[in-house]
Amino acid sequence: MRTLTLILLSLFALQTISPGQEAGKPRGEKKVVIQLYDDGTWQYADTTSRAEKPVPVKGLEIPKTKPDDQVISHTAYSLLFNDQHKQARWIAYELTKEETEKSVERTDKFKPDPDVKNGTATDRDYEGSGYDRGHLAPAADMGWSPASMAESFYYSNMSPQVPAFNRGIWKKLEELVRNWAGDYEAIYVVTGPVLNPGLNTIGPDKVSVPDYFYKVILDSREQGYNGIGFILPNSGSSLPLQSFAVTIDSVEKFTGIDFYPALPDKQEKQIEKTLCIDCWNWKYTRSVNQNDAREKTGDRASAPVLSPFGRFSPLQRGDVRRTEGYILSTNYVSSVSQ
């Protein structure tokens, strides 16, 4: 017997294992979703993660804004710029299957965004800093027109990223999301840095260096909408991307941003509180060495990751199939013969 104590970002749906049944080899696909509460009580939850067939909503990707917010719209994406941190608080865009078909080559022509009144970062801010000019909306998502590609290199679309992060796990997530657009016809993406007071800065314009980045995705399928969020530390990682997956509600609480407010309230609430790992195609992440990323506990290994909330693992292979809710503390007992 082995006991794993984890701090979890989610409510677990665990497959039941009967006495004598080999771990990692469940009988069928019996799944249970349990909602846990701070007072220690629990109840079985509604297992419906999808709402009714989606109705097209104009500007669905745009987060909730305040009356004095100046949202800037470019050819392919919109953004809300933060003058204090000299970067966007969020970048939002719809990505369709057709737009993933690249027709324009990457330009690498970084330049200030002419639509930001008080100015963006410049080349000087990044020179010699040791940080990459990390795209928020990736250039590879913008290769469907010359204008969208050129605007993807605006400094309003950049944030200081550790090279191992920008060229590693962040790039893998960008590729995964792009493939989802091809799988699900269209997705609505909001992404950005987590901007807090007291961050380190670089360059003469004092561009903040975020400790974390986020990405939330809403897909539109025939059966309905489905949503997922990610929070990643600004550092290299060999962990599987599923280890960083959280509910959209969790990203909202961590960033203070209200995502997808154009959805009907009931539909938005259901989508944003639910994380369904199995509802997404993860085949593009197989290049990650999961043996290195997981603790050696056999088929039911854990994949803890340092998150802003503590150490957690939303994916216990062979056990977890579904997560709902927000931050909880619980014990997970793994029956693994040693």
74, 85, 133, 135: the active-site residue: 135
C-alpha 188/C-alpha 85 separation (Å) is 25
User: Tokens 């000299």 appear where?
Assistant: 86
Residue 54: what pLDDT? 60
C-alpha 268/C-alpha 57 separation (Å) is 13
The sheet carrying 186-193 orders its strands as: 71-73, 78-82, 87-96, 186-193, 212-221, 224-233, 245-246
C-alpha 183/C-alpha 282 separation (Å) is 11
Residue 94: what pLDDT? 96
Residue 113: what pLDDT? 98
C-alpha 76/C-alpha 64 separation (Å) is 19
Domain ranges of the chain: 51-311
C-alpha 124/C-alpha 18 separation (Å) is 62
Residue 39: what pLDDT? 47
- 111-114 long-range CB contacts below 8 Å, 24 or more apart? 111/153, 111/154, 111/155, 112/154, 112/155, 112/156, 113/72, 113/81, 113/154, 113/155, 113/156, 113/157
Rounded to the nearest angstrom, the gap between the alpha carbon of residue 303 and the centroid of all alpha carbons in its chain is 17
Q: What is the CATH number of domain 51-311?
A: 3.40.570.10
135 labelled catalytic: yes
Q: What is the pTM of this model?
A: 0.72
Please identify every stretch of the chain with a pLDDT value under 70, giving residue numbers as ranges.
1-56, 284-338
Residue 102: what pLDDT? 84
* Mode of pairing for the β-strands spanning 11-14 and 132-135: unpaired
Residue 223: what pLDDT? 75
